[in-house]
A = this chain, B = another copy of it.
Amino acid sequence: MSQSCIIIGAGNLATHLALALKKNGHDIVQVYNRSEAPARELAKKVNSEYTTNPYQLKSSASVFFVAVKDDAFDEVLSKIKLNDKLLIHCSGSTPLSALSNYSANYGVLYPLQTFSKDRYLDFNKIPIFIESNSESNLKLMEEIASSLSEKVFELDSEKRKSLHVAAVFACNFVNHLYTLAGDVLQEKEIPFYILKPLIAETAKKIQDLKPFDAQTGPAVRNDEKIIAKHIESLEDSPELLNLYISLSKSIFNHHQK
């Protein structure tokens, strides 16, 4: 069933969520954001109204999505007349209970993906994890989530937090290692694009192999001579050196077990 939605937030996640809702037949009534430009920009994309004043949010909408940092929840939610409408947050590490003060009907809809505003994503392939405060709300959430993606799973707050931690390792930290690799190359005026086939294959490998079995490199071979050379060459970059040593030790420890 099509819902009339309000989107609170206009960041990366809010943008992709609003676009996916719109694309799948839901109506975006309003976008709220503290600063105006992002609100206006998103509202334009989904053909909705926008506001920077929480008191002006329309309580006639059927579902309210919150996609802001959880320390900003209260600032907005305490000012909206929710009238027990379905209130949904999209955060991996915020418990379901964070919404209990604002509505009698609430849930979590957590799409596991890395969202950058201007990048196209097929939302239908993104795993979505849901949780709710009642069986009937869960059924409604399942309906909404299934309209957005073919991969919908129920997951409680505790497990979702671990899933978020795992995602930080597999995505945010991974991307930062790409940045650090680029820094190492830049020192020698080697362009970053040279790493792209390696990065692509590293990610592709684990679509078929377990990452443990896909591990290559000096640390898993315990190639001490190479490791010593690398450590020497990183001596002027304490941060890189520290990470090189910690990660190499961690690889070695895992594979000696």
Contact = CB atoms under 8 A, between A and B. Distances in A.
A200 interface: yes
Nearest to A126: B197
Chain A contact residues, majority secondary structure = helix
Contacts of A240: 169
A207 interface: yes
Contacts of A162: 184-185, 187-188, 190, 233
A178 interface: yes
A182 B203 contact: no
Contacts of A243: 169, 173, 246-247, 250
A185 to B, nearest CB: 5
A177 interface: yes
Contacts of A69: 221, 223, 225-226
A188 B167 CA distance: 14
Contacts of A213: 116
A174 to B, nearest CB: 5
Contacts of A181: 166-167, 169-170
Nearest to A69: B223
B216 A170 contact: no
Nearest to A13: B216
A230 interface: yes
A204 B119 CA distance: 11
Interface in A109-127: 112-116, 119, 121, 125-127
A242 interface: yes
Interface in A79-106: 91-94
A23 interface: no
A122 to B, nearest CB: 9
Contact of A195 (B153, B167, B216, B233): B167
Given A112-B198, A113-B198, A114-B202, A215 B175 contact: yes
Interface in A191-246: 192, 194-221, 223, 225-226, 229-230, 233-234, 239-240, 242-244, 246
Given A113-B197, A197-B113, A188 B159 contact: yes
14 contacts: A94-B226, A116-B205, A127-B194, A155-B190, A159-B190, A162-B188, A165-B184, A169-B181, A171-B198, A171-B217, A176-B211, A179-B211, A179-B254, A199-B203
Given A114-B201, A163-B194, 6 more contacts: A114-B214, A114-B217, A115-B216, A155-B190, A172-B215, A175-B205
